[in-house]
Amino acid sequence: MTIIIINFKTYKKGKEVLKLVRIIEKINKNIIVGLIPLDIKEISKKTKLKVFSQYLSDDIKEIKGSASGVFLNHSDHPLTFNKLKKSISLCKKNKLKTAVFTTSLREARKIEKLKPTYLIYEPKELIGGKISVSQAKPEIIRKFKDNLSMTFLVGAGIKTSKDIKTALDLGSSGIAISSVIMKSRNPEGKLKELIGSVTSSKAKYYYDI
């Protein structure tokens, strides 16, 4: 199964968050969305999507029982390795899944030992940019595949279905995206263009999500 993460970051506010969540849910219910802790409780009640917190705030109660999981060590919220280790174990105790981001294979190999639910490679300098991880770092994606035992996702600068296809062909099990959807005037059309399309009579997906 291809795993798709859509990180809302702080692009959307108030009612716009639920509006976009509804659009995504209509396209595919297995997509993981990353929201700020403040939005988790309300939005989780209203969607079947898997809602992850974009980081672990000081008070885990803010998301416990409503979020499916937490992003850890994203470039927007980097953690020391020690803090990451403690955060993963705290999440596990609280039945929260963990999606841990990394900027290098070296770090990924250490993170793998902590057994997170998901591991995502995102080169920091490509995040929000025009060139995708698939175009800029194909050899590193391949190295992730060859050197890790666990499956991994990739993200940063992904803008086209070709970027996604390349990432999957190189060995990743999914992708993490943000600006391509958040900045689109037609997020529904853009997401369908990226991951597939659904018509009323028959569903056609490029990927098994």
Neighbours of 187 (CB within 10 A): 19
Tell me, residue by residue from 121 to 150, as one string, x for binding to ligand G3P by CB under 6 A and - for no binding: -x----xx----------------------
* CB closer to ligand G3P out of 104 and 204: 104
- The least distance separating ligand G3P from the CB of residue 76, rounded to whole angstroms, comes to 7
Residue 158 makes contact with ligand G3P by CB under 6 A: yes
Closest by alpha carbon to 50, among 22, 30, 28?
30
Tokens read off for 135? 């175009």
Q: Which are the catalytic amino acids?
A: 74, 122
Residue 180 makes contact with ligand G3P by CB under 6 A: yes
Residue 177 makes contact with ligand G3P by CB under 6 A: yes
Tell me, residue by residue from 28 to 67, as one string, x for binding to ligand G3P by CB under 6 A and - for no binding: ----------------------------------------
Residue of the chain from 116, 123, 157, 174 that contacts ligand G3P (CB under 6 A): 157
Neighbours of 131 (CB within 10 A): 15
Tokens read off for 7? 């990180």
- The least distance separating ligand G3P from the CB of residue 158, rounded to whole angstroms, comes to 5
Residue 174 makes contact with ligand G3P by CB under 6 A: no
Tokens read off for 50? 């898997």
Residue 108 makes contact with ligand G3P by CB under 6 A: no
Contacts 24+ apart (CB under 8 A), 112-117: 112/148, 112/149, 112/150, 114/84, 114/85, 114/88, 115/88, 115/150, 116/72, 116/88, 117/69
Binding site for ligand G3P (CB under 6 A): 7, 74, 122, 127-128, 155-158, 176-180
